[in-house]
Protein backbone atom coordinates (compact mmCIF):
# COMPACT_ATOMS: atom_id res chain seq x y z
CA UNK A 1 0.00 0.00 0.00
CA UNK A 2 2.42 2.68 -1.21
CA UNK A 3 -0.09 5.52 -0.84
CA UNK A 4 -0.57 4.69 2.84
CA UNK A 5 3.16 4.40 3.33
CA UNK A 6 3.73 7.79 1.75
CA UNK A 7 1.10 9.45 3.95
CA UNK A 8 2.11 7.63 7.13
CA UNK A 9 4.58 10.18 8.59
CA UNK A 10 2.09 13.01 8.21
CA UNK A 11 -0.66 10.95 9.89
CA UNK A 12 1.68 9.92 12.74
CA UNK A 13 2.57 13.53 13.45
CA UNK A 14 -1.16 14.28 13.67
CA UNK A 15 -1.47 11.30 16.08
CA UNK A 16 1.22 12.97 18.25
CA UNK A 17 -0.96 16.04 18.38
CA UNK A 18 -4.03 14.11 19.47
CA UNK A 19 -5.59 12.44 16.38
CA UNK A 20 -7.62 9.36 17.47
CA UNK A 21 -6.76 5.81 16.35
CA UNK A 22 -9.90 5.36 14.17
CA UNK A 23 -9.32 8.67 12.35
CA UNK A 24 -5.63 7.83 11.90
CA UNK A 25 -6.44 4.45 10.31
CA UNK A 26 -9.05 6.10 8.15
CA UNK A 27 -6.54 8.75 6.96
CA UNK A 28 -3.93 6.08 6.13
CA UNK A 29 -6.49 4.13 4.07
CA UNK A 30 -7.76 7.29 2.34
CA UNK A 31 -4.21 8.09 1.21
CA UNK A 32 -4.05 4.66 -0.47
CA UNK A 33 -7.47 5.11 -2.10
CA UNK A 34 -6.46 8.57 -3.38
CA UNK A 35 -3.29 7.13 -4.93
CA UNK A 36 -5.23 4.29 -6.56
CA UNK A 37 -7.86 6.67 -7.99
CA UNK A 38 -5.15 8.97 -9.28
CA UNK A 39 -3.33 6.08 -10.98
CA UNK A 40 -6.57 4.84 -12.50
CA UNK A 41 -7.26 8.32 -13.89
CA UNK A 42 -3.72 8.63 -15.28
CA UNK A 43 -4.08 5.26 -17.02
CA UNK A 44 -7.49 6.27 -18.39
CA UNK A 45 -6.04 9.58 -19.65
CA UNK A 46 -3.29 7.72 -21.51
CA UNK A 47 -5.53 5.10 -23.11
CA UNK A 48 -8.28 7.59 -23.98
CA UNK A 49 -5.90 9.91 -25.90
CA UNK A 50 -7.45 12.95 -24.23
CA UNK A 51 -5.28 15.88 -25.36
CA UNK A 52 -5.34 17.83 -22.09
CA UNK A 53 -6.69 17.78 -18.57
CA UNK A 54 -9.68 20.13 -18.69
CA UNK A 55 -12.12 19.66 -15.87
CA UNK A 56 -15.59 21.11 -15.45
CA UNK A 57 -14.49 22.77 -12.21
CA UNK A 58 -11.91 24.79 -14.24
CA UNK A 59 -14.67 26.13 -16.48
CA UNK A 60 -15.66 29.76 -15.92
CA UNK A 61 -19.43 29.76 -16.44
CA UNK A 62 -19.54 33.51 -15.80
CA UNK A 63 -17.69 34.05 -19.09
CA UNK A 64 -20.32 32.15 -21.09
CA UNK A 65 -23.77 33.40 -20.01
CA UNK A 66 -25.56 31.59 -22.88
CA UNK A 67 -24.56 28.31 -21.25
CA UNK A 68 -26.90 26.84 -18.65
CA UNK A 69 -24.68 25.77 -15.77
CA UNK A 70 -27.36 23.39 -14.44
CA UNK A 71 -27.47 21.59 -17.79
CA UNK A 72 -23.71 20.93 -17.73
CA UNK A 73 -23.80 19.95 -14.05
CA UNK A 74 -26.63 17.56 -14.78
CA UNK A 75 -24.66 16.04 -17.69
CA UNK A 76 -21.68 15.65 -15.33
CA UNK A 77 -23.72 13.25 -13.19
CA UNK A 78 -23.34 10.91 -16.20
CA UNK A 79 -26.95 9.77 -16.46
CA UNK A 80 -26.60 10.29 -20.23
CA UNK A 81 -23.79 7.71 -20.35
CA UNK A 82 -25.96 5.26 -18.43
CA UNK A 83 -28.83 5.86 -20.87
CA UNK A 84 -26.49 5.75 -23.92
CA UNK A 85 -27.52 9.25 -25.00
CA UNK A 86 -25.40 11.69 -26.99
CA UNK A 87 -24.28 15.27 -26.35
CA UNK A 88 -23.55 17.81 -29.11
CA UNK A 89 -21.74 21.06 -28.34
CA UNK A 90 -22.27 23.66 -31.06
CA UNK A 91 -20.72 27.11 -31.28
CA UNK A 92 -18.06 29.35 -32.80
CA UNK A 93 -14.31 28.95 -32.10
CA UNK A 94 -12.97 29.29 -28.56
CA UNK A 95 -16.27 29.16 -26.65
CA UNK A 96 -15.29 26.02 -24.70
CA UNK A 97 -16.75 23.13 -26.72
CA UNK A 98 -13.63 20.96 -26.46
CA UNK A 99 -13.10 21.95 -22.81
CA UNK A 100 -16.61 20.82 -21.86
CA UNK A 101 -16.40 17.62 -23.93
CA UNK A 102 -13.10 16.69 -22.26
CA UNK A 103 -14.55 17.65 -18.86
CA UNK A 104 -17.40 15.17 -19.35
CA UNK A 105 -14.97 12.49 -20.57
CA UNK A 106 -12.77 12.96 -17.49
CA UNK A 107 -15.80 12.78 -15.21
CA UNK A 108 -16.74 9.49 -16.90
CA UNK A 109 -13.17 8.14 -16.60
CA UNK A 110 -13.15 9.04 -12.91
CA UNK A 111 -16.21 6.83 -12.55
CA UNK A 112 -14.40 3.92 -14.14
CA UNK A 113 -15.96 4.33 -17.60
CA UNK A 114 -13.87 3.62 -20.68
CA UNK A 115 -13.51 6.79 -22.74
CA UNK A 116 -11.82 7.66 -26.02
CA UNK A 117 -11.08 11.01 -27.66
CA UNK A 118 -10.38 11.92 -31.28
CA UNK A 119 -10.96 14.76 -33.67
CA UNK A 120 -13.22 13.79 -36.58
CA UNK A 121 -10.16 13.97 -38.87
CA UNK A 122 -8.09 11.69 -36.57
CA UNK A 123 -10.86 9.13 -36.21
CA UNK A 124 -11.48 9.02 -39.95
CA UNK A 125 -7.74 8.68 -40.66
CA UNK A 126 -7.50 5.79 -38.23
CA UNK A 127 -10.51 4.09 -39.87
CA UNK A 128 -9.05 4.61 -43.35
CA UNK A 129 -5.67 3.22 -42.26
CA UNK A 130 -7.38 0.21 -40.73
CA UNK A 131 -9.37 -0.27 -43.95
CA UNK A 132 -6.17 -0.20 -46.03
CA UNK A 133 -4.59 -2.77 -43.70
CA UNK A 134 -7.66 -5.04 -43.88
CA UNK A 135 -8.47 -4.37 -40.21
CA UNK A 136 -11.50 -2.11 -40.51
CA UNK A 137 -13.85 -4.38 -38.58
CA UNK A 138 -11.39 -4.66 -35.71
CA UNK A 139 -10.97 -0.87 -35.55
CA UNK A 140 -14.75 -0.36 -35.73
CA UNK A 141 -15.17 -2.70 -32.76
CA UNK A 142 -12.44 -0.90 -30.80
CA UNK A 143 -14.15 2.46 -31.38
CA UNK A 144 -17.62 1.08 -30.64
CA UNK A 145 -16.52 -0.31 -27.31
CA UNK A 146 -15.88 2.84 -25.14
CA UNK A 147 -18.83 4.00 -23.01
CA UNK A 148 -18.04 7.53 -24.12
CA UNK A 149 -16.44 8.58 -27.39
CA UNK A 150 -15.57 12.25 -27.96
CA UNK A 151 -15.65 13.32 -31.62
CA UNK A 152 -14.12 16.78 -31.66
CA UNK A 153 -13.89 19.45 -34.37
CA UNK A 154 -16.60 18.44 -36.83
CA UNK A 155 -16.51 21.07 -39.55
CA UNK A 156 -12.93 22.32 -39.60
CA UNK A 157 -11.38 19.88 -42.07
CA UNK A 158 -12.89 18.40 -45.23
CA UNK A 159 -13.89 14.75 -45.10
CA UNK A 160 -13.38 12.31 -47.98
CA UNK A 161 -16.33 10.30 -49.28
CA UNK A 162 -15.00 6.97 -47.96
CA UNK A 163 -14.03 8.67 -44.70
CA UNK A 164 -17.59 9.95 -44.32
CA UNK A 165 -18.97 6.45 -45.01
CA UNK A 166 -16.71 4.88 -42.38
CA UNK A 167 -17.72 7.51 -39.83
CA UNK A 168 -21.40 6.92 -40.59
CA UNK A 169 -20.88 3.19 -40.02
CA UNK A 170 -19.18 3.89 -36.70
CA UNK A 171 -21.99 6.15 -35.51
CA UNK A 172 -24.59 3.58 -36.61
CA UNK A 173 -22.81 0.94 -34.52
CA UNK A 174 -22.70 3.23 -31.48
CA UNK A 175 -26.34 4.30 -31.88
CA UNK A 176 -28.27 3.14 -28.78
CA UNK A 177 -25.18 1.17 -27.77
CA UNK A 178 -22.90 3.83 -26.23
CA UNK A 179 -22.71 7.61 -25.78
CA UNK A 180 -20.92 9.97 -28.11
CA UNK A 181 -20.04 13.59 -27.34
CA UNK A 182 -19.54 15.66 -30.48
CA UNK A 183 -18.39 19.24 -31.02
CA UNK A 184 -18.89 21.39 -34.09
CA UNK A 185 -18.55 24.97 -35.20
CA UNK A 186 -21.16 24.35 -37.90
CA UNK A 187 -24.94 24.09 -37.59
CA UNK A 188 -26.60 20.79 -38.54
CA UNK A 189 -27.80 22.31 -41.84
CA UNK A 190 -24.15 22.58 -42.88
CA UNK A 191 -23.20 18.98 -42.07
CA UNK A 192 -24.21 17.80 -45.55
CA UNK A 193 -21.48 20.01 -46.95
CA UNK A 194 -18.92 18.75 -44.39
CA UNK A 195 -19.61 15.09 -45.17
CA UNK A 196 -20.12 15.69 -48.90
CA UNK A 197 -23.46 13.87 -48.93
CA UNK A 198 -26.76 15.44 -47.82
CA UNK A 199 -28.63 12.12 -47.57
CA UNK A 200 -25.98 10.44 -45.44
CA UNK A 201 -25.59 13.52 -43.24
CA UNK A 202 -29.36 13.56 -42.67
CA UNK A 203 -29.31 9.86 -41.67
CA UNK A 204 -26.33 10.49 -39.37
CA UNK A 205 -28.01 13.47 -37.69
CA UNK A 206 -31.24 11.46 -37.34
CA UNK A 207 -29.41 8.76 -35.35
CA UNK A 208 -27.39 11.24 -33.29
CA UNK A 209 -30.36 13.38 -32.33
CA UNK A 210 -32.73 10.54 -31.45
CA UNK A 211 -31.41 10.53 -27.85
CA UNK A 212 -29.38 13.70 -27.58
CA UNK A 213 -28.62 16.77 -25.48
CA UNK A 214 -27.78 19.78 -27.65
CA UNK A 215 -25.74 22.53 -26.04
CA UNK A 216 -25.68 25.66 -28.19
CA UNK A 217 -23.00 28.09 -27.03
CA UNK A 218 -23.41 31.63 -28.29
CA UNK A 219 -20.64 33.79 -26.93
CA UNK A 220 -17.15 35.20 -27.23
CA UNK A 221 -13.95 33.25 -27.64
CA UNK A 222 -12.10 32.62 -24.40
CA UNK A 223 -8.89 32.66 -26.45
CA UNK A 224 -9.61 36.26 -27.52
CA UNK A 225 -10.12 37.20 -23.88
CA UNK A 226 -6.62 35.89 -23.16
CA UNK A 227 -5.26 37.92 -26.10
CA UNK A 228 -6.95 41.08 -25.02
CA UNK A 229 -5.68 40.68 -21.42
CA UNK A 230 -2.14 40.21 -22.80
CA UNK A 231 -2.54 43.26 -25.00
CA UNK A 232 -3.54 45.35 -21.97
CA UNK A 233 -0.51 44.05 -20.02
CA UNK A 234 1.87 44.94 -22.86
CA UNK A 235 0.35 48.40 -23.34
CA UNK A 236 -0.51 49.61 -19.83
CA UNK A 237 -0.29 53.27 -20.94
CA UNK A 238 -2.24 52.80 -24.19
CA UNK A 239 -5.62 54.47 -24.66
CA UNK A 240 -8.41 52.31 -23.29
CA UNK A 241 -10.29 51.94 -26.59
CA UNK A 242 -7.31 50.55 -28.47
CA UNK A 243 -6.03 48.55 -25.49
CA UNK A 244 -9.22 46.55 -25.36
CA UNK A 245 -8.82 45.51 -29.00
CA UNK A 246 -6.44 42.69 -29.87
CA UNK A 247 -3.83 43.53 -32.54
CA UNK A 248 -5.61 41.79 -35.45
CA UNK A 249 -8.78 43.76 -34.90
CA UNK A 250 -6.90 47.05 -34.88
CA UNK A 251 -5.02 46.13 -38.05
CA UNK A 252 -8.32 45.32 -39.77
CA UNK A 253 -9.79 48.64 -38.60
CA UNK A 254 -6.79 50.44 -40.06
CA UNK A 255 -7.19 48.61 -43.37
CA UNK A 256 -10.84 49.63 -43.56
CA UNK A 257 -10.19 53.28 -42.88
CA UNK A 258 -7.31 53.63 -45.37
N1 LIG B 1 -15.54 29.47 -19.94
C2 LIG B 1 -14.27 29.03 -19.90
N3 LIG B 1 -13.61 28.94 -18.71
C4 LIG B 1 -12.32 28.55 -18.67
N5 LIG B 1 -11.58 28.22 -19.75
C6 LIG B 1 -12.18 28.29 -20.94
C7 LIG B 1 -13.55 28.68 -21.09
N8 LIG B 1 -13.87 28.63 -22.38
C9 LIG B 1 -12.79 28.22 -23.03
N10 LIG B 1 -11.75 28.03 -22.18
C11 LIG B 1 -10.38 27.69 -22.55
O12 LIG B 1 -10.12 28.40 -23.74
C13 LIG B 1 -9.43 27.57 -24.68
C14 LIG B 1 -10.30 27.37 -25.92
O15 LIG B 1 -11.46 26.60 -25.54
P16 LIG B 1 -11.90 25.31 -26.38
O17 LIG B 1 -10.69 24.66 -26.98
O18 LIG B 1 -12.75 24.46 -25.52
O19 LIG B 1 -12.75 26.03 -27.50
P20 LIG B 1 -13.58 25.39 -28.67
O21 LIG B 1 -14.97 25.88 -28.56
O22 LIG B 1 -13.37 23.92 -28.70
O23 LIG B 1 -12.91 26.08 -29.94
P24 LIG B 1 -12.60 25.49 -31.41
O25 LIG B 1 -13.93 25.50 -32.15
O26 LIG B 1 -11.66 26.49 -32.00
O27 LIG B 1 -12.02 24.13 -31.27
C28 LIG B 1 -9.12 26.28 -23.94
O29 LIG B 1 -7.84 26.41 -23.36
C30 LIG B 1 -10.18 26.22 -22.85
O31 LIG B 1 -9.72 25.50 -21.72
MG1 LIG C 1 -12.31 22.67 -29.97
Q: With bands split at pLDDT 50, 70 and 90, how would you rate the model's confidence at 238?
A: low
**Containing domain of residue 237, as a range?**
222-257
Our mutation pick for probing the ligand 1 site, out of 94, 100, 153, counting the most ligand atoms within 8 A of Cβ, is: 94
CA of 20 to the centre of ligand 1 (A): 46
Pocket (CB within 6 angstroms of ligand 1): 54, 58-60, 63-64, 91, 93-99, 153, 183, 185, 222-223
The predicted-structure confidence for 28-51, as pLDDT tens digits, reads as follows: 999 999 898 888 888 888 888 998
Q: Which of 46, 56, 66 is nearest to 181 (CA)?
A: 56
Atom 14 in ligand 1: which residue has the minimum CA distance?
94
CA dist 154 and 123 (Å) reads: 11
Residue 171 has pLDDT above 60, yes or no: yes
Atom 5 in ligand 1: which residue has the minimum CA distance?
59
The predicted-structure confidence for 73-125, as pLDDT tens digits, reads as follows: 999 999 999 999 999 999 999 999 999 999 999 999 988 899 999 999 999 99
Residue 128 shares a structural domain with residue 200: yes
Q: Classify residue 188 by its DSSP letter.
A: G
Residue 34 shares a structural domain with residue 121: no
Record the pTM.
0.81
Residue 248 has pLDDT above 50, yes or no: no
What is the pLDDT at residue 255?
Answer: 40
Residue 206 shares a structural domain with residue 230: no
CA distance readout (Å), 20 to 8, 17, 62 = 14, 9, 43
Q: Sign of dihedral through CA atoms 184, 104, 55, 62?
A: positive
Residue 205 shares a structural domain with residue 90: yes
Residue 170 shares a structural domain with residue 207: yes
Residue 10 shares a structural domain with residue 93: no
Residue 69 shares a structural domain with residue 187: yes
Domain count for the chain, please give it: 3
Residue 79 shares a structural domain with residue 113: yes
Q: Which of 32, 48, 64 is the last residue of a domain?
A: 48
Residue 126 shares a structural domain with residue 167: yes
Q: With bands split at pLDDT 50, 70 and 90, how would you rate the model's confidence at 11?
A: very high
Residue 30 shares a structural domain with residue 84: no
CA of 93 to the centre of ligand 2 (A): 7
Residue 179 shares a structural domain with residue 103: yes
Whole-number mean pLDDT of the chain? Answer: 88
Exposed/middle/buried for 251, CB within 10 Å: 0-12, 13-18, 19+?
A: exposed
Residue 201 shares a structural domain with residue 180: yes
Q: Which residues, 6+ apart, have CB-to-CB distance to 195 below 8 Å? A: 159, 164, 167, 168, 201, 204
CATH of the domain at 181: 3.40.50.300
Amino acid sequence: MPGSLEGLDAVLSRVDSGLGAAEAISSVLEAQIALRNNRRLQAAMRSSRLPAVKTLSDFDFGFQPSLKREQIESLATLGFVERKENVVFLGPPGVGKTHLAIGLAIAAAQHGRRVYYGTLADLITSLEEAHAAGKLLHRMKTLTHPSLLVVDEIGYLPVSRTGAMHFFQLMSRRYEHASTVLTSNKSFEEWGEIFGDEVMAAALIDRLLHHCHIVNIRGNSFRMRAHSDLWKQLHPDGDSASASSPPRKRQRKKELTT
